[in-house]
Amino acid sequence: MISCVLFNSRFILAPSSTKIHDHEQLHVFFVPFMSPGHQIDMARIFASRGVKATILTTPLNISRFESTINRDDYHHHNPIKLLLLNFPSTAANLPPNCENLDAIPSRDLSYNFSKAIMMLQPQADDLVRQCQPDAIISDMNFPWTAEIARKYGIPRLVFRGTCCFSLSLSVAAAQHKPNVNVSSDTETFLVPGLPRPVYITQSQMPDQFFGNTDLQEFFEKFIKAERNSYGVVANTFFEIEPDYVKHYEKVTGKVVYPVGPVSLFNTKAIDIAERKRRRQRESNSVLYVCFGSLYEFAESQLLEIALGLESSNICFIWVIKSDAFLLLDKDFEERVKDRELIIKGWAPQVLILNHPAVGGFMTHCGWNSVLESVSSGVPMITWPLFAEQFYNGNFVLTHWKIGVGVGVESGLAWGEEEKIGVLVRRDRVEKVVSQFMINGGEEVEGMRKRASKLSELAKIAVSKGGSSYVNVGLLIDDLLNQKVERLSKKKETVDQFV
């Protein structure tokens, strides 16, 4: 007898004899990329649903999130296990303590970092052999997890930290690129084969921004590994892009589980901050400025941003790298001290975005940042830099209509920031910021209302009974059913032999 669950036009078939509610039967390995992100939250979400979750990572990365895991309410009765991978810095010709992408002292070492990641395969293989997990959920940057999963006969799912719109656009644009007939890299062209018309330029395609062409070999391995995987786990939610979730499933032939926004798993921390904070600024009066942990600006561009923010006369919070801060005008902080907060290094972005005084977010359009802004109901000033960030920014501006673009037409090639220099002048920064935060009128108010509605949808999606909550359950049940089938086949083989 077969039971059937329908959700988002997806059928999950489960033998009725399977104890799909008994999640403690399931053991999943999580392999997060060594970069700021949310894949550890995936392990936390699974553990909160009773699954045995194990994270494979390196010593310095364990120290980054161990305290977060230990604070979880469920941790005392269902602890997440952390397994150590020794990072081969010396073998990959990397300096010590470069176990995370944001710790690499130079972009020129990105190839070495990728080599080090590939060297982790034997260690991970041994751990899978010893622990015998039932599935692997891996970041795309570990293509060898597909080989390990195939070797031990278990499903491997790719964790995608971006939206299905950008994934679909990447596939379509790459296929269409040889046929593009434009007069310049900045001339727009229509990308065919998508649910809705989308226009981009060649200068906005992700492959423009990786100066080291040697990295191409790794990208090809990522793509091949995804083709050999069971499915995709995406940090997005169905309601904001139903057409593209379905489209990406169609073009890849893989089942896609939208389970985000995973940042909302930290609602307890947000609730605590909500009770403690004080309204020192008026609602929507502060602009939050952050370009992610991996960005690099030329010194000249950094100064243009600073002077543009100063001239706008708005209140702002600017998260800036400590070494980048040293490049600013020494008197800048003094001149704007009454209306700014400069944070050097890491900042609690989710908590900042949820503060009622924050009314806008100038962002590089990394998907984590975009989704956190959406979840907080904060509209954006988009300033994409590299990778798929132009695609994410396109979605913000043309699909959701909850932001304005700063006007950058092409991105940064890694390692060539000083050569490229200034892309946006101070007067443009001042104009966009002032218009957005002060003089936007009904247009910006409409953005705020649309962003607020998206925020409500995000919270519903991760709540009990919401689409992402249900998708996590469907994925767990699916993996459990596959485990039962493997055990059943193994038993049949033994019975036939004896």
Token pair in block for residue 384 = 């994409």
- Residue in the block written with tokens 């015998």: 132
- Asked if 58 and 85 touch (Cβ cutoff 8 Å), the reply is yes
Backbone angles phi, psi at 173, to 5 degrees: -65, -40
**Residue of 139, 247, 477, 478 marked active site:** 139
Helix axes 39-48, 59-71, angle to 10 degrees: 40
- DSSP secondary structure string for all residues of 284-327: T-EEEEE--SS----HHHHHHHHHHHHHHT-EEEEEE-HHHHTT
CA–CA separation, 26 vs 265, rounded Å? 21
CA–CA separation, 225 vs 157, rounded Å? 10
Give the CA distances from residue 146 to residues 141, 205, 215, 411, in Å, rounded to whole numbers and listed in that order.
11, 27, 19, 32
Task: Please provide the size of the chain in residues.
Answer: 498
Is 38 an annotated catalytic residue?
A: yes
Give the CA distances from residue 15 to residues 160, 255, 271, 488, 494, in Å, rounded to whole numbers and listed in that order.
29, 19, 40, 12, 22
Residue 115 CB neighbours (<10 A): 17
**Residue of 23, 38, 247, 364 marked active site:** 38
- Closest residue by Cα to residue 393 from 429, 361, 434: 361
Encode burial over 38-73: b for 16+ CB neighbours within 10 A, e otherwise. bbbbbbbbbbbbbbbbbbbbbeebbeebeeebeebe
Q: Catalytic residues, which ones?
A: 38, 139
